[in-house]
Amino acid sequence: MPQTASKALVLFSGGQDSTVCLAWALQRFHSVETIGFDYGQRHRVELDCRPRILAQMRRNFGWSGGLGEDHLIDMQVLGEISDTSLTQDMVIEMADNGLPNSFVPGRNLLFLTLAAAVAYRRGIGSLIGGMCETDYSGYPDCRNDTIQMLANAVSLGMDRKFEFLTPLMWLDKAATWALGQELGGAAFTEIVREHSHSCYMGDRDQRFDWGYGCGECPACQLRAKGYAAWQTL
């Protein structure tokens, strides 16, 4: 299928960042599809959040009329070969290499490559992800250089031009909350708070001002800190 500049594919996990990226894409592209990955993550509850967020988006926002097909890719093999706190039952801590053991080697590289393969078939040239190197856990596959070099490699390897867009790359979490409010107002912020999931422990029992989570893991701490900072802006 020929590529169409007005079409985009959003890497949509069900988390805060990818939900904001989805709203961002819907205001900029005529047609937006979504893709998620089941890689044996401990916080698999995020995959259960995805359809609820998509339903809320379709129900509450006129610009979600461009929201198209959702794709869910089985990547259980990544969890099987990974020895990390996101795919195994272990305490989240710093590893000897200076990275948190929540880092899943190759995750974003595989996500973007497989997303590009789907985009190739769907005639989509723009891939959008919530990677960020401003306010993050130090994952090397979230860095802008990594993402843009991969975009070049994928474009060469598939002989089609792809652009990998990362609208949150230079935003901290407070700015991400602010961007969501700017894109969809209080109604969208409430969708992020109530339905998106960031907690590495997969906790949906405890409710805070910023949403559900354990309140202790790095993802919860980043989200909570960003929410508190946004409230003071």
As a whole number, mean pLDDT of residues 214-229 equals 95
How many angstroms separate the CA atoms of 211 and 218, rounded? 15
Asked whether residue 198 carries a pLDDT value surpassing 90, the answer given is yes
The answer to whether 53 and 14 have CB atoms below 8 angstroms apart is yes
Residue 28's Cβ-side half-sphere holds a number of Cα atoms within 13 Å equal to 16
CA distance 32 to 194: 23
pLDDT class for 1, splitting at 50, 70, 90?
low
149: Cβ–Cβ under 8 A, 6 or more apart, which residues? none
d(CA 219, CA 136): 9
pLDDT at 84: 76
Task: Answer whether 0.75 is exceeded by the pTM.
Answer: yes
Helices (H), 123-217: 144-158, 173-195
Q: Which two tokens stand for residue 213?
A: 């989570």
Calculated CA dihedral for residues 24, 27, 33, 35, nearest 10 degrees: 10
Q: What number is the average pLDDT over the span 84-108?
A: 76
Rounded CA-CA distance 31/137 in Å is 32
CA–CA separation, 229 vs 214, rounded Å?
A: 19
Give me the pLDDT at residue 96, please. Answer: 73
Given phi > 0 = left and psi -120 to 50 = alpha, else beta, which region is 24? alpha
Write the DSSP symbol of residue 64.
Answer: G
**Segment 98-139, tens digit of pLDDT:** 677 777 888 899 999 999 999 999 999 999 999 999 877 788
| pLDDT tens sequence across 26-68 | 999 999 999 999 988 877 899 999 999 999 999 999 888 899 9
Indicate the average pLDDT of the chain. Answer: 92
According to the CATH classification, is domain 4-194 in 3.10.310.30?
A: no
